[in-house]
Amino acid sequence: MIPELHCGAGARLSARLRAQELLGGLGPAHPDFFALEGERSLGIDRVRELVLWARYAPLRGTVRVALLGPAERLTPEAANALLKLLEEVPAYLAVLLFAEAPDRVLPTVRSRCALRWAPPPREALSRALAQAGYAPAEIALLLELAEEREEEALAFVEEKRDVLGELEEARREAEGMTLLELAERLPGEVLDPLRRRAFLQVFWEKVRTAPAHQVLATAEILARSRAVPEVLQEIARILCAQAASDPAVLSWARRALLARGELEAYANPRLLLEVVLLWPRRG
Do 104 and 133 lie in one domain? The reply is: no
Residue pLDDT, tens place only, 238-265: 888 887 777 778 888 888 888 877 887 7
Do 154 and 167 lie in one domain? The reply is: no
The residue out of 128, 161, 194 marking a domain boundary is 161
Confidence of residue 282 (pLDDT cuts 50, 70, 90): low
> Residue 11 — left, alpha, or beta (φ > 0 → left; ψ -120 to 50 → alpha)?
alpha
Do 77 and 56 lie in one domain? The reply is: yes
Mean pLDDT score across all residues of the chain: 89
The residue out of 118, 133, 152 marking a domain boundary is 118
Confidence of residue 51 (pLDDT cuts 50, 70, 90): very high
Q: Which helix (H) or strand (E) holds 56?
A: none
CB 1 within 8 A of CB 91: yes
Query: Of residues 138 and 237, which shows the higher confidence score?
Result: 138
Total number of domains constituting the chain: 3
Do 210 and 141 lie in one domain? The reply is: no
In three-state secondary structure terms, 93 is strand
The residue range of the domain holding 207 is 163-281
The residue out of 161, 176, 192 marking a domain boundary is 161
Do 157 and 172 lie in one domain? The reply is: no
Give phi and psi for 69, each to the nearest 5. Answer: 170, 170
Do 92 and 130 lie in one domain? The reply is: no
In three-state secondary structure terms, 69 is strand
Distance of CA 124 to the CA centre of its chain: 15
Do 173 and 273 lie in one domain? The reply is: yes
Measured from the Cβ of residue 80, the count of other Cβ atoms closer than 10 Å reads: 15
Do 191 and 157 lie in one domain? The reply is: no
Which residues are 74's β-sheet partners? 42
Do 71 and 151 lie in one domain? The reply is: no
Do 230 and 131 lie in one domain? The reply is: no
Q: What per-residue confidence (pLDDT) applies to 162?
A: 95
